[in-house]
Amino acid sequence: MGGGIRQLLEQVHRLSRRCLFRVLSMGPLPTHLAFIMDGNRRYAKKRGLEDGSGHKAGFSALMSMLQYCYELGIKYVTVYAFSIDNFRRKPEEVQSLMDLMLEKIKSLLDKESIVHEYGIRVYFIGNLGLLNDQVRAAAEEVMKATAKNSRVVLLVCVAYNSTDEIVQAVKRSCVEKADRDVERIQLVDIEENMQMSVAPEPDILIRSSGETRLSNFLLWQTGNSQLFSPDALWPEIGLRHLVWAILNFQRSHSYLEKKKKQL
């Protein structure tokens, strides 16, 4: 009986979301949304839970957010899952995060996973050599298995930070132009060598938990992105925050288009 009511409620939610998204789609929609998923540990502390539960709750919030984005028709979503700086945390925490990541990465290959439901192509972006063999192998397997998907894209930044990405791109550009005139290195050369070049630049960057720092995430790519910092901790993030971000995007988008025409 309870299960039936739950199913019914879910259907109602889905239907009302579809109506809401239809209204939102009448205005311009972002092509690419990026998230800094901040606040998992604070969430666990707030609820008096043990540390790992915050990250688990964070993962559920991520799945919901991905569902909303792809239902709305947003093609690219990028998430900051694990920064190179995070390796400096306590070893037990790093290990438990790696274990959680391994479990969740493997689950993406399940038939019932969101990857299959939405035809997601998954990229893992970062210095993957810094990960342990198991996590790296699982990530590579998911990238291979989803390589043919083309409807929507999920970019998971893990063992990533932007200055590292830029340095690697600079090194590659230097090597490529070593035999030729180095004066002819252009922005496009560096851009092509960026790991994130598989996606356009994010239209919106959302950082949860009220912090207003980029924390070395997508520095090159978010030069023109609209930045939002809702106070909600990541596990508390919901549909209303996404809708709010998109409404603000639509408001400033029409202003920007006007400005572009003036120039």
Partner 1 sequence: MGEKRLPKHVAIILDGNRCWAKKRGLGTSKGHKAGARKLMENVKDCLPLCFLHRKLGKTRVNGLMFMFEEYLRSERHVFRREKLKISFIGNRTKIPQSLLGLIRETEEATKSYEGKHLIIAIDYSGKFDILQACKSLAKKAKNGLIQVEDIDEGMMDKELMTNCSEFPNPDLLIRTSGEQRISNFFLWQSAYSELYFTNVLWPDFGNAEYLDAFTWYQQR
Active-site amino acid positions: 38
Q: Which is nearer to partner 1, 11 or 186 (CB)?
A: 186
d(CA 32, CA 196) in angstroms, rounded, equals 12
Is-contact 77 154, C-beta < 8 A?
yes
d(CA 192, CA 4) in angstroms, rounded, equals 51
Q: Which is nearer to partner 1, 127 or 149 (CB)?
A: 127
d(CA 141, CA 144) in angstroms, rounded, equals 5
Closest approach of Cβ 261 to partner 1, in Å?
13
Q: Choose the binding region for partner 1 from 19-27, 70-78, 99-107, 223-231 (rule: CB under 8 A).
A: 223-231
Closest approach of Cβ 226 to partner 1, in Å?
6
- Among 9, 49, 167, 247, which residue interacts with partner 1 (rule: CB under 8 A)? 167
Give the 3-state secondary structure of residue 90: coil
Q: Decide if residue 174 touches partner 1 (CB under 8 A).
A: yes
d(CA 101, CA 106) in angstroms, rounded, equals 8
Near partner 1 in 25-84, by CB under 8 A: none
Please, what is the end-to-end C-alpha distance for the chain in angstroms? 62
CA angle at 109 for the pair 217 and 37, rounded to the nearest 5°: 25
Q: Choose the binding region for partner 1 from 25-33, 102-110, 118-126, 160-168 (rule: CB under 8 A).
A: 160-168
Q: Decide if residue 20 touches partner 1 (CB under 8 A).
A: no
Q: Choose the binding region for partner 1 from 38-46, 73-81, 117-125, 165-173 (rule: CB under 8 A).
A: 165-173
Q: Decide if residue 220 touches partner 1 (CB under 8 A).
A: yes
**Tally of CB atoms within 10 A around 8:** 10
Q: Decide if residue 178 touches partner 1 (CB under 8 A).
A: yes
d(CA 105, CA 140) in angstroms, rounded, equals 10
Q: Choose the binding region for partner 1 from 56-64, 129-137, 145-153, 157-165 (rule: CB under 8 A).
A: 157-165
DSSP letter string, 10-57: HHHHHHHHHHHHHHHTTS---SEEEEE---HHHHHHHTT--HHHHHHH
Closest approach of Cβ 162 to partner 1, in Å?
7
d(CA 59, CA 102) in angstroms, rounded, equals 13
Closest approach of Cβ 87 to partner 1, in Å?
15
Neighbouring residues of 98: CB distance < 8 A, sequence distance ≥ 6: 131, 132, 135
Closest approach of Cβ 166 to partner 1, in Å?
6
- Among 227, 232, 239, 243, which residue interacts with partner 1 (rule: CB under 8 A)? 227
Query: What are the residues binding partner 1 (CB under 8 A)?
Result: 161-164, 166-167, 170-171, 173-175, 177-178, 182-183, 185-187, 190, 211-216, 219-220, 222-228, 252, 263
